[in-house]
Structure 1
Amino acid sequence: MLNRRQFLSAAAASAVTFARIPKALGAQQTKYDLIIRGGRVIDPSVRLDATRDVAISGGRIGAVEPTIAGDAAETIDARGKLVVPGLLDIHTHTGRSPDGPKLVLQDGVTGWIDAGSQGADRIGDIVAVARSSLQPGRVLINIGRAGILPDGDTMDLARADVAAARDAIAKNRDFIVGVKARLSRDVAGANDREVLRRAQEVASSFGLPLMIHMGQTVSPLSKLFDLLKRGDIVTHMFAPPPNSIVACGSTSATVRPDTCGGTPSARS
């Protein structure tokens, strides 16, 4: 049973890490399967963000150096490009299709979370995709029991079913790592605050994080953020005003005053 932090750690461990090796060892090996030359290598695990060559041998990183003099069966010119370990994407809708995991893997995603594609009624469909995924996949359950709907997940407040969500999590605790509440005007309407309260009730009862999709909500962000706890996630936070967290002179200035030169709030 994984929580969000454990999931990210496990997925990161399964990705290739660009580890430095002693120069003396690197000098001994002059033939590699592949050398990626001149790319901007970003590896947060070793605080690396610099132009480097990366050599690969036998499916493993053999060297990461400013310049690698060895030969290789194949060379990739990565100048002007990013070279990174496997990416972990915590906001996808990968589970909506059995082909989803394969498609995101082609984009370098080696660990994914489906963010609320389904609710309690059909959460098994998403869990099945995660279970068979080529890479680690986990799920946020939509508080709306019918999942994403064209006419709004929780415009009918009865769809924000606490009991159904709890039951679904209990049955799929090995794959469900959080709760999703979509709160936009055309998704929850004037129900947004109550939908969020119910979603938080479910998440907190399992010690799970809550992700909110804010967009343009009926309620001001300050009223919604009051219901969040430490570790919760706000997505689409660069929405245009009035719900932008970086636009001064709007509602956001009272939520994130640090973005407008004021004192940082407790949630910044």
Structure 2
Amino acid sequence: MVNRRQFVYSATASVIALGRGPAAFAAEYDLIIKGGRIVDPSLHVNAILDLAITGGRIASIDNNIDADAVEVIDATGKLVVPGLLDVHSHYARDDEGPRICLSDGVTGWVDAGSEGADQIDDMVAIARAAPQPARVLLNIGREGILPNGDTHELALADVEAAKAAIARHRDYVIGVKARLTEGVAAEDIEVLRRAQEVATFFNLPLMIHMGQTASPFSVLVEQLKPGDIVTHMLAPPPNAIIDNDGQIFPEVLAARRRGVWFDVANGRTGHLLWDTFDRIMDA
């Protein structure tokens, strides 16, 4: 027989237990990703591990995390990587680009000169509306990427139009792009000079698209300043970063020492041949 005092104590304890229930039995983690290959170059990690997340942050990485979680993902046979930053993309060419790349794990991107001064407003609007951080390079060719060449007519490399476009969107334009391949640029040295004039005016980096140029690359690279970027660095001859004997040009090494960056940027066609890659790696 339960007396009044025992009943009150029992009822009170039950209420307290119910009140504490969600906290007492809350999952230890919000998410556990199990059995994936974690790749994080910043930590020199490349191994099959478990990863736990709480409050939007990584809480634990271990061989086997045996704990409760709100959600558990089996990542067996999959890669688990930090959000990818794509510094050479063309996602701002249409509205769907940013969402497509997000589904591929890209959480931040730079459009490498899809558009020029004439379409800068459209390109920046796409970057502003992107679900992830996004910025753009301005193509020195005022009409952007063209099938018959961005600056196939030298007048398209319009310095004043480029300056006005950047001034209008200085918060989103972080550099200038010049594609110098023969057939794309009417006069590669002059297009490079004009692009550098615009970039220097705003203290911005210039990215040049190299490979198959009319002028020797050893001449072009000497026009670059610290912080500038050579993209498609593994492009095949003519006028690659190596000479006919497979040796890297001294001008290329000098540029790297003075702070010019070299970007692989594989691309889809004509930007990388494996025999050129092997020769450059062996040089």
TM interval, short-chain normalised: 0.7 to 0.9
Q: Does 1:168 align with 2:157?
A: no
Q: Does 1:153 align with 2:150?
A: yes
* C-alpha distance in structure 1 between counterparts of 2:244 and 2:28, whole Å: 56
* C-alpha distance in structure 1 between counterparts of 2:143 and 2:79, whole Å: 39
Q: Deviations 1:78-119 (Å, cap 9, x if unpaired)?
A: 44x432111111111111111111011001111111111111
CA contact (8 A) 2:222 2:255 kept: no
CA contact (8 A) 1:41 1:48 kept: no
- CA offset at residue 255 of structure 1? 4.0
- CA offset at residue 151 of structure 1? 1.1
- Equivalent in 104, 107, 128 of residue 107 of structure 1: 104
Q: Does 1:134 align with 2:131?
A: yes
Same amino acid, percent of matched pairs: 58
Q: Secondary structure at the match of 2:121?
A: helix
Q: Deviations 1:184-212 (Å, cap 9, x if unpaired)?
A: 112004x0011011101100111101111
Which residue is 1:123 aligned to?
120
Q: Secondary structure at the match of 1:168?
A: helix
* C-alpha distance in structure 1 between counterparts of 2:91 and 2:127, whole Å: 9
Q: Secondary structure at the match of 1:88?
A: strand
Structure scoring higher RCO (CA < 8 A, sep ≥ 6) equals 1
| Structure 2: stretches of 5+ with no match in the other structure | 1-25, 258-283
- Matched letter for residue 184 of structure 2: V
| Structure 1: stretches of 5+ with no match in the other structure | 1-28, 257-263
Which residue is 2:84 aligned to?
87
Q: Deviations 1:11-69 (Å, cap 9, x if unpaired)?
A: xxxxxxxxxxxxxxxxxx97444322333323345x24132311134544231123322
What count of residue pairs does the alignment treat as equivalent?
230
- Equivalent in 32, 35, 41 of residue 35 of structure 1: 32
For the aligned residue pairs, the C-alpha RMSD in angstroms reads 2.2
* C-alpha distance in structure 1 between counterparts of 2:254 and 2:244, whole Å: 14
CA contact (8 A) 1:245 1:255 kept: no
- CA offset at residue 248 of structure 1? 6.2
Q: Does 1:231 align with 2:227?
A: yes
- Matched letter for residue 165 of structure 1: A
- Equivalent in 194, 204, 214 of residue 198 of structure 1: 194
Task: Give 1 or 2 for the bigger CA radius of gyration.
Answer: 2
* C-alpha distance in structure 2 between counterparts of 1:89 and 1:192, whole Å: 26
- CA offset at residue 251 of structure 1? 7.7
CA contact (8 A) 1:34 1:55 kept: yes
TM-score (norm 1): 0.78
Which residue is 1:265 aligned to?
254
